[in-house]
Homo-oligomer: A and B are copies of this chain.
Amino acid sequence: MPVTIIHEARTERLEILDKDGKADEALLPKLSSEEMTGLYKLMARMRRFDEKALALQRQGRMGTWGSIRGQEACQAGLAVNLLKEDWLAPSFREHGVMISRGIPMRQVYAIWRGDERGHHFPEGVNCLPVSIPVASQLLHAAGLGLGLKLRGENRAVAVGFAGDGASSEGDFHEALNFGGVFKSRTLFFIQNNQWAISVPFHKQTAAKTIAQRAHGYGIPGMQVDGNDVLAVYVAAKKALEHVRSGDGPYLLECLTYRMENHTTADDATRYRLADELAYWKERDPIDRMRAFLVSSKLWDDGKERALLEEVSAEVEAEVKAFEAQPPAPTTDIVDFMYKERPWYLEEQRAVLAKESR
């Protein structure tokens, strides 16, 4: 046959809860009540944590903050599927999954207050430092996933995070391709929040989805409603199972929405319409899951009040601890550059030491 079809591909999208929290029963994951409410609690904790950071920032007590508001379902649905031995390679908008993995809130606050010490994560927490150049960390995740494979791990995986904007960078491509070639133990987890600062997704690429790129690398991929925590839970589980099995990487696109400004340095009213925000407010991942839980008789106002009190108390305590930390010695500027300081840093350290006296 002189005209042959040499490749066929379809890309799926999963949704379980509709915008009002009504579930497609056939697709509902078999989770216990605790697990169901656990997902909700995780999201509520993230939101409180995030809101506090925004408040601190307005008061001049925080640096530039990139809010995760609206993306909690993505991060919670993934987080509960992770094992202790898994690795994260986060971008700058992964606070939710980071605090869910045992990184103290005070450390994440510290990073964004501008303190490298926040990055010295506790022993046993497998998380790379936050990477700011978009998409660059996907290669770290590809390499880590290869490293895990070479070490013979058969459970641990690496998760590389990126946004829709990041998917235009060359590193996105190189990472997925490299991962595919080496069958690295890597989940590429893309939160498509439809904006890259002021650039909407349709100006980022002429492709309809990011998920469909997977086929170009010979790896599986899918899209999931990123404002539906149950759907993300199911999709992440499936994706992670694939990666854990040793069959190579997986590309999971969570279609979500950035409900805040890009960061506190941004003013989204310059470039996006209030209507769009309103549309997505109705699809808030937390409201939606609460509606589902309430209608499932798993949640009520009392529980809600108790939860909010609990997470508020935690957040306040963490803020207190975070703000109690005195600034690092100025000599820290040079002290972590190399294992041993070269002569010129020895000299420069002396300048810093003298000035700080």
Contact = CB atoms under 8 A, between A and B. Distances in A.
Interface in A227-267: 231, 248
Contacts of A208: 6-7, 218
A4 interface: yes
Contacts of A223: 6
Contacts of A7: 9-11, 208-209, 211-212
Contact of A217 (B5, B11, B177, B206): B206
Number of this chain's copies in the complex: 2
29 contacts: A2-B15, A2-B24, A2-B231, A3-B14, A3-B15, A3-B27, A4-B12, A4-B15, A6-B208, A6-B209, A7-B9, A7-B10, A7-B209, A8-B9, A8-B11, A168-B178, A169-B170, A170-B173, A170-B174, A173-B173, A173-B174, A177-B206, A177-B207, A180-B207, A181-B203, A205-B217, A205-B218, A206-B219, A215-B215
Contacts of A169: 170, 174
Given A2-B16, A7-B9, A177-B206, 9 more contacts: A2-B231, A6-B13, A6-B211, A168-B174, A170-B172, A170-B174, A205-B217, A207-B215, A216-B216
A248 B205 CA distance: 12
Give the size category of A's interface with B: 35 or more
A215 B10 CA distance: 11
Interface in A1-57: 2-16, 24, 26-27
A204 interface: yes
A161 B11 CA distance: 29
A171 interface: yes
A5 B11 contact: yes
A288 interface: no
A263 to B, nearest CB: 24
A223 B4 CA distance: 10
A77 to B, nearest CB: 15
Contacts of A207: 177, 180, 215-218
Nearest to A4: B13
A231 B3 CA distance: 10
Interface in A192-230: 203-209, 211-213, 215-219, 223
A100 B24 CA distance: 62
A210 to B, nearest CB: 8
A332 B219 CA distance: 50
